[in-house]
Amino acid sequence: MNREITMKALIYHGPNLLALEEKPKPTIIDATDAIVRITTTTICGTDLHILKGDVPSVSDGRVLGHEGVGVIEAVGKRVENFSVGDKVLISLITSCGRCSYCKKGMYSHCRIGGWLLGNSIDGTQAEYVRIPFADTGLFLLSPEVDEEAAVMLSCILPTGLECGALSGQVKPGDSVAIVGAGPVGLAALLAVQLYSPARIIMIDLDDHRLAVARSLGATEVINSSDGTAAKQVMALTHETGVDVVIEAVGIAATFAICQEIIAPGGHIANVGVHGTPVELHLEKLWAANITLTTRLVDAGSTPMLLGMVQSGRIAAKKLVSHRFALQDIIKAYDTFANGAKEQAIKVIIKGDVQ
């Protein structure tokens, strides 16, 4: 193959089938596109859901990945905010900025955009990616920015803030539980602390992730492997439950825990991507004045979060546990998917240095 026109990319071939392959480099299709050379990318829990077959919109042949930092290689004629050579953060959300949903700030529901990267168009786990609507989907980074910290802003930090802390309406003094201490649960842990809750209880099956949660500000941690997590939260809260519970796993068992531990008047903020139905226990909750929210991250908070990561107010880099070259991305997937055994949180994949 001619390396001038081809690149390495991680391709999805159906449930549990991944391959690093050579394929044509992307080119500008629309005048609002940019082509970005990826210098840093990473893997999301959502990619693991895709691999399980939970996200049917992802078809055979798709380049995965919706997180990345890189350098602009080419811009279309109507890209105004960026030039070749700029270092940029890629948002997972593509938005036209003009449709009725974009005007409401619901960028994830943009009528011609939304979560496209690594879903319905080729994504960032490659040497190059095409970014539609580059003016709204990219953010300028200073050349000296820490790329590993910055790439936490492509997906997990806006998700933790918007789908977790904001949807959950966390207030000063609240009791909060977060079910799932993966990168997204930990990002929610960082985000809820901006609203000064009195206590934050983290629940997971993995003691290493729970130890990381404690170091990042959890006041209590519970390993739920023995099936008593809900009972333990109730005991910790004098049988009242918590004001806010954030679901950051995406399975029926963890959604059930959320319903068991929510206090009257509380908020259940679902963040997890669910591939199968869950039970909603209205026979118990109908009188409990609870609010249940679902949300696909809009990433409207990205510029604000970028400022907080750059000033050190949010310790994004602490989520990084492993580093791989793009050549070894299959190993990176294995490491991330076996997070407990490998003591992995966020695995960084470096593009080839040029």
Ligand X SMILES: NC(=O)c1ccc[n+]([C@@H]2O[C@H](COP(=O)([O-])OP(=O)(O)OC[C@H]3O[C@@H](n4cnc5c(N)ncnc54)[C@H](O)[C@@H]3O)[C@@H](O)[C@H]2O)c1
Binding site for Zn ion (CB under 5 A): 44, 46, 96, 99, 102, 110, 155
Q: Is residue 339 involved in binding ligand X (CB under 6 A)?
A: yes
Q: Is residue 206 involved in binding ligand X (CB under 6 A)?
A: yes
**Closer residue to Zn ion in complex, CB, 150/236:** 150
**Closer residue to ligand X in complex, CB, 67/243:** 67
Query: In the stretch 262-301, what mask flags binding to ligand X with x, by CB under 6 A?
Result: ---------xxx---------------------xxx----
CA distance 242 to 247: 13
Bridge-partner residues for 87, per DSSP? 71
Residue 96 site contact among ligand X, Zn ion, none (CB < 5 to 8 Å, cut-off depends on kind): Zn ion
For residue 188, the tally of other CB atoms under 10 A from its CB is 34
**Residue of 8, 37, 49, 130 interacting with ligand X (CB under 6 A):** 49
For the chain, where are the E strands, in sequence order? 6-12, 18-24, 34-42, 62-63, 68-75, 87-90, 93-94, 114-115, 128-131, 138-140, 175-179, 199-204, 220-223, 242-247, 262-270, 291-294, 320-325, 346-350
**Closer residue to ligand X in complex, CB, 132/185:** 185
**Closer residue to ligand X in complex, CB, 164/351:** 164
List, in order, residues 6 or more apart from 19 with CB less than 8 Å away: 10, 11, 13, 330
Q: Is residue 45 involved in binding ligand X (CB under 6 A)?
A: yes
Task: Name residues contacting ligand X, limited to 211-230 (CB under 6 A).
Answer: 224
Task: Kindly state the tokens that stand for 245.
Answer: 């519970």
**Closer residue to ligand X in complex, CB, 35/319:** 319
Task: Kindly state the tokens that stand for 19.
Answer: 């391959």
For residue 160, the tally of other CB atoms under 10 A from its CB is 30
Bridge-partner residues for 199, per DSSP? 175
Residue 110 site contact among Zn ion, ligand X, none (CB < 5 to 8 Å, cut-off depends on kind): Zn ion
Closest alpha carbon to 93 in 46, 148, 143, 144: 46
Q: Is residue 164 involved in binding ligand X (CB under 6 A)?
A: no
Task: Kindly state the tokens that stand for 223.
Answer: 């390993």
CA distance 351 to 38: 6
**Residue of 34, 72, 248, 319 interacting with ligand X (CB under 6 A):** 248
Q: Is residue 154 involved in binding ligand X (CB under 6 A)?
A: no
Residue 47, CA distances (Å) to 51, 81, 258, 336 in order: 6, 30, 24, 10
Q: Is residue 137 involved in binding ligand X (CB under 6 A)?
A: no
- Which of 31-39, 40-48, 68-76, 309-317 is the region at the interface with ligand X (rule: CB under 6 A)? 40-48
Cβ 296 to Zn ion, closest distance in Å?
A: 10
Please report, as ranges, the residues that interact with ligand X according to CB under 6 A. 44-46, 48-49, 155, 159, 163, 179-185, 203-206, 209, 224, 248-251, 253-254, 271-273, 295-297, 339
